[in-house]
Amino acid sequence: MEDHGEELEDRDLSKAILEMLHINKVSAPQQAKPRPYMKLAYQSLYAQARDLSGAGGTLVQSFRSIEDSKYGTPGWIWFNTSQLSPFMRVAELVLLRKTLHHKPLSVTVTVHSLSPGPDNLSISCPLAEHLLSLDKLPPSGYDVFDVTAAITQPPHHSDILGFQLRFGDESGSLVLHEALTQSLYCLNGSSLSQPLLVVYRSTSMEHQ
């Protein structure tokens, strides 16, 4: 009964937001139940509804991570962006932190996009750089990286878009980037906490 109540609450919230923002659609492939982070994003958009009441079309899309058999390196994060609206201007990579270090420890993480081409895989320059305190969680529990350049820099040869995280400290680059990614973040594609690629139509709509 509790799950049924949550489903009704989610449905009512989504319906109210869609009606107020005049959104034609919010992409939610496969599963209808919104991810916890998207609830925060929808609530943030709801609060901005008066300013956005004149906007039309899709205002926000979310893509859930997928398994990629061709480039299935553990620790790389992949999304199918075939339904990405060409009008989107902001993109976030949203990862749930699942582990904490028992002692104060900070590392630098850079995010690189992975773009499959006809003959090879291209890896971008750093799109975002964060200093992470591994003994503390961010307020939302999620690390959010601005990866806007991954969707705004043409051209793309594939509807598949990936990301690699690379870590470093004062001494330089750390090895085992993929192992660290798997250790720090929830990458389970069947989990409610799986990685998300969240894209927004307007820069003013970016969820903080």
Question: Tens digit of pLDDT for each residue in 156-180?
Answer: 667 899 999 999 988 878 878 999 9
What pLDDT score was predicted for residue 45? Answer: 63
Please list the alpha-helical segments (H only) found in 1-120: 2-21, 36-47
Report the candidate in 97, 197, 204, 96 with the shortest Cα–Cα distance to residue 148.
197
What pLDDT score was predicted for residue 20? Answer: 41
CATH of domain 63-200: 2.60.120.970
- Domain spans, the chain: 1-59, 63-200
What pLDDT score was predicted for residue 27? Answer: 41
Give me 126's structure tokens. Answer: 């750093």
Q: Do residues 49 and 20 touch, judged by C-beta distance below 8 A?
A: yes
DSSP, residue by residue, 137-153: --TTSEEEEE-THHHHS
For 69-95, give one letter per residue: b (16+ CB within 10 A) or e.
Answer: eeeeeebbbbbbbeebbeebebbbbbb
For the chain, which residues score pLDDT lower than 70? Answer: 1-35, 40-58, 69, 154-157, 203-208
| 3-class state of residue 168 by DSSP | strand
What pLDDT score was predicted for residue 49? Answer: 53
What pLDDT score was predicted for residue 105? Answer: 86
Sign of CA pseudo-dihedral 68, 69, 70, 74: positive
What pLDDT score was predicted for residue 193? Answer: 84
What pLDDT score was predicted for residue 120? Answer: 83
Report the candidate in 95, 96, 93, 97 with the shortest Cα–Cα distance to residue 81.
93
What pLDDT score was predicted for residue 22? Answer: 40
What pLDDT score was predicted for residue 192? Answer: 78
